[in-house]
Structure 1
């Protein structure tokens, strides 16, 4: 009884308290939505009601053993505290559930509202506050009709959500007619839709013939009647992008902003081999005006075209396989969250000019599960985002300020949601830093370094200006000061140092640079927080050109020192007044032609696909590679490029190691020459780590040499196999046909099972356990004439090796002649093979040789036929003498009686 009562209280407690940042369901996730403080997850068979911490509250079965049902509409109606679901059961149905308890059905009706096919559809609550409708955009069954003279098909309808509306709930008729939007396109795919203030937006792909386009439909949601809403229809075609056509919309999101409506879309060129197959572009859709051919309201013709196509404000990111996008706004910055088809969640910051910063990977899966097109934020604080990957739902923190332990690390993250709290001396969000100055990344640009400086000449003195790349938010005016010292001596002359956040400047004597470079310690203090930076001041006039011709290396040295290269004077000089820092590539480009070596070329990389753990010993083939000093690796997801030394070279080949990456995706590889120029532009793809699903066989004989196949995914990134605890490393071979790798087992005289691991770069991935058994033992053979063939029966001891026909080779020897014995059967105690007869049939063999695997001869057995005969005769003689002995013994006993 006590146990029963304990269960009554503990089980519900555990149900509500056990939560995690990841939940795995028993079926694939089809859709999920967020409503108030609840999360609703739809799988193949069930609808789950969950709290925001991913603990489950309720579940509802949507299929049973006799009725299959595909729920295709899942919309929270928060104003009414209900959840609307529609599915394909019978001829179609819709049901209204209690938003706080999905097991309670409020209303249901047999009505076909959602799509019947497995097609994308869009559904959301729309219309004026006085009368809310369920807007559904879906592909109609008639849309697939390829007839150019086909009648328009309905693609968008508005359905009542309340019984009090005219016609009742789930009714789309108004005043005896059915208002709708129709299309003459051959194929229509709805991707996204939403209502913002008084505007309705729908985004879709349409296809007519071989032409694919992306359209946006706009309607006025302030209209009271459905007919009026549809009559306000305006439309435009959305284009992306300048570098190549990407005519298919994959996912989209609206970016919270002021009066304008900024929208972000992921566009695809539908070329999976293209490292920039998808692009993320931003558009201002505040004023969609005009019409597009193929879409109109009922009663109109759909052949009109007016208005202009929408062009992107900015293309902010390109990648091979983006699959979803979501956005939040922070002050003047925008933060995009991008899901990918290879299982990554990427965070990308844009400044007020929509210039992107460094992408940050918040999560990456070990395999290639795609992130579903829809992602949702935690509606309470927007500090978490929910992403779905096949059967898995994850709650990922979008703010990771606490992991940055210093001001420099906090600033280097370029996260607009994070800043340095001066009172607590830690990296935190703005709301966690109340009543304290908070320093964050600059509002106008994310390209600025934390500390930058310039030295310049105003003809009367040398000057230094230091700029602190931070934005300060404070209710007061915290103290700000700077100092410049060389050793223990103040650099600045007199008391002319000025410090006004975020800049400091002072002048210094020219003679301090006569003896050479000057190492300067710059200390910037904001309240009690100090930032120390080591600067090197150079005398620009001392950067001399020692060669008879202008030198690219000297120009690079000059410009990178903050000086100014004079092409007419062919020398380095001081800048006259402060100005923007030039890029080396721009300032010294014209001197490229003065280099005295043949420009190297890259022809191929082997392999060009690696795991995110990296790869050792990669072969680069090319031309004129003698002058290459190192390999430069730059990826879209890695703002800080990587470099790898060359450890083996010739004029046409190089070998180097590919370092590990924190991300998946493509990187560009070029070779660097002594002048720091980079040549070539090859692609390497970082993919998921290999996943081992099984090995066959799981056991080997101790002398080794057995072929072992390893099955799994991403096996082409495996470099070798490793056995532990023996620590033997074996080279693996990749099979393109099967996608598996294989190797030959090593010799092993130890006991107990071994662990098999796969080496990838400098990391290992666990595989399966492996064991060894004694070598197969053969104890003799006999022969039998069968027609023209000679059958050989080989006796063996039983073992657990389960030998296959391909692993055993038998050869018969007769004098100096050898004959192949074709295997017919391998059993536990016997192997049967036949030496095929022909014009010269073989009637006997002197011996046989048995080879197993690649380990060489395991047994050479000799079993001559006359030996068999003499053994039989000898046995009979022995038996005869035993009988005689027994008879004599009996006679002796009788005589003695």
Structure 2
């Protein structure tokens, strides 16, 4: 059976779930037929049942909606919040943007982090009109700054016609409320967990004295009366203790199971990981006891008190780590099965079915989140079809199917899911819900009890000891329009009929085969039985043995052989015997673990497993260290109650070390032991499956083309990453885990052009998309200069401005003087976009007179060489030589040009005079002479 479980309880993540991300974390939500209403920190949502948003309404900045209650009968949605010292509002259920009534009233707690409660109750009887009220609860842990009275519990009106009007807490003789006996009740450490009405009783679950030395879970109850007043007069309380020797003092979530007497389930916590699902008969708490010394009802306080049912012990306790919520519905109970939907702190939704004896099946994972947002304490089944459940994880709402029947491909796998909601539909040849197979034969798990095998058998001998009787039982429940045809066929390994010439009787769910004992050889007989139900068949094979011949020293192997042969192992006589017909013995191979292996080898021991925390994708190349591991054949990994069993081969082995690939699994703790050849398993190491790694941010998000830049991946659970898959160009890159960061070094892309490339995280054999990295051309260095700085030599390097944002830590700079290399210390980068040049300053210590000829800059995978002048004195000498030379040349040129100008003037003056004389030849002689002289 153990090997069969492997294929069934693998990952149950549903791909068909619906989701909606919101602007804030979900604080409360409610579901009616066809719609869902959600309150976040600052918004109210109205959605279709498939989570598409119809209306989104913003609330006031200082407002928190603490009470959210649909009133379907009157098409209203009642909300109460903290704005302006408290208010309650009636909205249109079909359009929450329409307000019907709003009133200032202290129905809920004044402060956002304080506990409040609100739900509908119906009061009255057959002779009086049935009235609906809003039962509100509020806890105040700080001095109030508002004038409203804040009642611990109160019954408030929902109609104007009721006494005192809408939202009034008045009864026929004044306010109808319950308060603490102590005057300082408002500062007591209370917290509401749940409240509901079931038939004639009203129940409220609270934490009491949470931070005190003796925290308690209290069940407060009232019997439905004809008025507000006589309803509250029946108030009583009792303490719920959970569970056994462990002290679970906190209640995380609550759900009504139903039935008579009334069963109720709660998730109890001892700490964040130690949690238990406990089922109680809470009718006891409502039937016994009088009042409660901690509270006053209608102004009267009890002076004497008898607590309800001191022996209110749970009917069943199921321990599972990190539970946060539970949901169950009377409508979901199928036949004698009860189904519980459980949310966990790791973001998983699991389903556990319990038979009529409260024995649980192995958990089925319906949904698991990639991150680790815990599931909200409230979960609600879809009232339309009961085939989906609503849950909240942080800022996300989910609608998840309550069963995944379609993932099972044959009748055996459908049955082995142990899901009461799933059965094999004969006409469709697929695994379905019952309502999808109403006109055909539907085959599912049987009523009443958990069965590990679909077909079981027993072997006995007739009183004459001459014949062997094989009794086969089909552990099935068959629902069909007509009585189905049932038959069995027994055959040997040779294909011959085992029952030839003898009796073969088939009456559902049993069939019998009788054959002569002489046909059973000493080594056993291979037998196959095929059962048929209408057109559906299933078979099972066994090796029948003569039970009385299975003899020897009691060991695990001998005991297991006896049980596997359909015989009865007697633990008192320590022998293998024939199984009496109609015996209900439940021997399993696991019960044989009390016996030694019988092997002449040392008992293996496990010291540790590394890593002991992995993602739910699993882990390649994990190591188990210990002693005497030489003879180990397999590693066994299993969850609570041996659920989710996997048998894993090892990759390599020595006396003190095993290397293995840990397969994927669901979130939570698994136990690891090592198996010997006879099937015994030793050691008990724990490996914890957690959420997948997340890739949230790259720092930096760029790289130079030649590669080698260290990129920090920021996210969660990055220690689970095995390597990086670089996409362009395709490369496998190693990683280094540093604190919460993952570091890898970029490869070269060769081309000196801008390019975007993506990469993925590889976890075990799976891939997770990460982010995009931008490549830019390599940095370009222009020149360097040197100057003295005290005893040190300062080097200044010029670099073209780029988009790489290189830091000082990413560079190593060396300066060369001949064959001598100096390391440049104290790097400093100054970015300047004005001139398009960045400068890098560093110093060579105690070498102020070094004659640097070349600078080498190590960045990533490459080395960049920079040339430049020897030192600053070269430029100073050049300035003193060149500038005077320029001045001298300029003076010489000026003098030369000045002389040339004077010579030209001397030549031009007589020429000008001659021209003027020619122009004035016709003038009188006196005038000519005068002008020449001029």
Q: Shorter-chain TM-score: which interval?
A: 0.7 to 0.9
How many angstroms does 1:373 deviate by? 1.5
Note the 1:353-392 alignment, pairs <5 A: 353-392=357-396
2:478 corresponding residue in structure 1: 472
Q: Quote the Cα distance in structure 2 between the aligned partners of 1:45 and 1:179.
A: 30
2:741 corresponding residue in structure 1: 740
Note the 1:378-417 alignment, pairs <5 A: 378-417=382-421
2:322 corresponding residue in structure 1: 320
1:47-71 CA-to-partner distances (Å, cap 9, x unmatched) read 23333233444443332xxx53222
Contact 1:788 1:836 in 2 (8 A): no
Pair 1:242–1:863, CA change in 2 (3 A): farther
Q: Quote the RMSD (CA, aligned, Å).
A: 3.5
Structure 1: state its 5+ residue gaps: 1-18, 145-151
How many angstroms does 1:610 deviate by? 1.2
Q: Indicate yes or no: 2:491 matched with 1:485.
A: yes
Contact 2:176 2:228 in 1 (8 A): no
Contact 1:710 1:740 in 2 (8 A): yes
1:520 corresponding residue in structure 2: 527
1:88-134 CA-to-partner distances (Å, cap 9, x unmatched) read 22121111222233233222211111111222322111141422221
Contact 1:565 1:573 in 2 (8 A): yes
How many angstroms does 1:653 deviate by? 3.0
1:460 corresponding residue in structure 2: 466
Pair 1:764–1:405, CA change in 2 (3 A): closer
Contact 2:325 2:379 in 1 (8 A): no
Pair 1:382–1:708, CA change in 2 (3 A): same
Q: Quote the Cα distance in structure 1 between the aligned partners of 2:468 and 2:872.
A: 111
How many angstroms does 1:571 deviate by? 6.9
Q: Indicate which of 720, 725, 750 corresponds to 2:723.
A: 720
How many angstroms does 1:408 deviate by? 1.7
Pair 1:850–1:642, CA change in 2 (3 A): farther
Q: Quote the Cα distance in structure 2 between the aligned partners of 1:243 and 1:602.
A: 29
Contact 1:179 1:226 in 2 (8 A): no
**1:585 counterpart SS class:** helix
Q: Indicate which of 444, 448, 458 corresponds to 2:448.
A: 444
1:507-526 CA-to-partner distances (Å, cap 9, x unmatched) read 11223232744332322111
Note the 1:345-360 alignment, pairs <5 A: 345-360=349-364
1:43 corresponding residue in structure 2: 40
How many angstroms does 1:734 deviate by? 1.7
1:162 corresponding residue in structure 2: 159
1:108 corresponding residue in structure 2: 102
Q: Quote the Cα distance in structure 2 between the aligned partners of 1:233 and 1:567.
A: 54
Q: Quote the Cα distance in structure 2 between the aligned partners of 1:309 and 1:544.
A: 49
Pair 1:847–1:609, CA change in 2 (3 A): farther
How many angstroms does 1:864 deviate by? 3.1
Note the 1:493-892 alignment, pairs <5 A: 493-514=500-521, 516-540=523-547, 551-564=555-568, 574-575=578-579, 577=581, 579=583, 580-587=585-592, 589-592=594-597, 594-636=598-640, 639-661=643-665, 663-736=666-739, 739-749=740-750, 752-813=755-816, 816=820, 818-827=822-831, 829-835=837-843, 842-847=848-853, 849-853=855-859, 855=861, 857-859=863-865, 864-865=870-871, 868=874
Q: Quote the Cα distance in structure 2 between the aligned partners of 1:238 and 1:647.
A: 51
> Which deviates more from structure 2 when the two are superposed, residues 212-221 or residues 176-185?
176-185
**2:238 counterpart SS class:** strand
Q: Indicate yes or no: 2:92 matched with 1:84.
A: no
How many angstroms does 1:647 deviate by? 1.9
1:727-767 CA-to-partner distances (Å, cap 9, x unmatched) read 3222222222xx11112223442574322111111011111
Q: Quote the Cα distance in structure 2 between the aligned partners of 1:819 and 1:104.
A: 74
Contact 1:615 1:761 in 2 (8 A): yes
Q: Quote the Cα distance in structure 1 between the aligned partners of 2:314 and 2:853.
A: 82
> Which deviates more from structure 2 when the two are superposed, residues 408-417 or residues 320-329?
320-329
Considering only CA atoms, is the larger Rg found in Structure 1 or Structure 2? Answer: 2
2:908 corresponding residue in structure 1: none
Q: Quote the Cα distance in structure 2 between the aligned partners of 1:847 and 1:658.
A: 58
1:287-337 CA-to-partner distances (Å, cap 9, x unmatched) read 212366534434214784634052211113412243343343112111111
1:197 corresponding residue in structure 2: 199
How many angstroms does 1:423 deviate by? 4.2
How many angstroms does 1:405 deviate by? 3.6
Q: Quote the Cα distance in structure 2 between the aligned partners of 1:225 and 1:575.
A: 64
1:222-267 CA-to-partner distances (Å, cap 9, x unmatched) read x13333222212222112223522211011100132x211111011
Pair 1:243–1:642, CA change in 2 (3 A): farther
Q: Indicate which of 279, 301, 308 corresponds to 2:276.
A: 279
Pair 1:128–1:551, CA change in 2 (3 A): closer
Contact 1:256 1:329 in 2 (8 A): no
Q: Quote the Cα distance in structure 2 between the aligned partners of 1:694 and 1:485.
A: 64
2:907 corresponding residue in structure 1: none
Contact 2:793 2:844 in 1 (8 A): yes
1:9 corresponding residue in structure 2: none
Q: Quote the Cα distance in structure 2 between the aligned partners of 1:403 and 1:565.
A: 38
Note the 1:287-302 alignment, pairs <5 A: 287-288=284-285, 289-290=288-289, 294-297=294-297, 298-301=299-302
Contact 1:20 1:54 in 2 (8 A): no
> Which deviates more from structure 2 when the two are superposed, residues 507-516 or residues 211-220?
507-516
TM-score, length basis structure 2: 0.84
How many angstroms does 1:857 deviate by? 4.4
Pair 1:183–1:517, CA change in 2 (3 A): farther
Q: Quote the Cα distance in structure 2 between the aligned partners of 1:241 and 1:853.
A: 63
Contact 1:153 1:183 in 2 (8 A): no
Contact 2:789 2:848 in 1 (8 A): no
How many angstroms does 1:499 deviate by? 0.5
> Which deviates more from structure 2 when the two are superposed, residues 487-496 or residues 748-757?
748-757
Number of residue equivalences: 850
> Which deviates more from structure 2 when the two are superposed, residues 39-48 or residues 117-126?
39-48
**2:848 counterpart SS class:** coil
Pair 1:578–1:101, CA change in 2 (3 A): closer
- Relative contact order higher in (CA < 8 Å, ≥ 6 apart): 2
How many angstroms does 1:154 deviate by? 4.5
Structure 2: state its 5+ residue gaps: 1-15, 125-129, 904-934
2:138 corresponding residue in structure 1: 138
Q: Indicate yes or no: 2:228 matched with 1:226.
A: yes
Q: Quote the Cα distance in structure 1 between the aligned partners of 2:328 and 2:26.
A: 19
Pair 1:599–1:445, CA change in 2 (3 A): same
Pair 1:96–1:485, CA change in 2 (3 A): same
Q: Quote the Cα distance in structure 2 between the aligned partners of 1:576 and 1:194.
A: 50
**2:301 counterpart SS class:** coil
> Which deviates more from structure 2 when the two are superposed, residues 332-341 or residues 290-299?
290-299
Pair 1:337–1:539, CA change in 2 (3 A): same
Q: Quote the Cα distance in structure 1 between the aligned partners of 2:176 and 2:623.
A: 66
How many angstroms does 1:587 deviate by? 3.7
1:390-441 CA-to-partner distances (Å, cap 9, x unmatched) read 2222222224334434222221222212223344444333333334443221
1:13 corresponding residue in structure 2: none
Pair 1:574–1:697, CA change in 2 (3 A): same
TM-score, length basis structure 1: 0.87
Q: Indicate which of 61, 64, 68 corresponds to 1:70.
A: 64
**1:490 counterpart SS class:** coil
Q: Quote the Cα distance in structure 2 between the aligned partners of 1:303 and 1:701.
A: 81
1:856-893 CA-to-partner distances (Å, cap 9, x unmatched) read 7443757534995699599969x98x989x99xx99x9
Contact 1:125 1:132 in 2 (8 A): yes
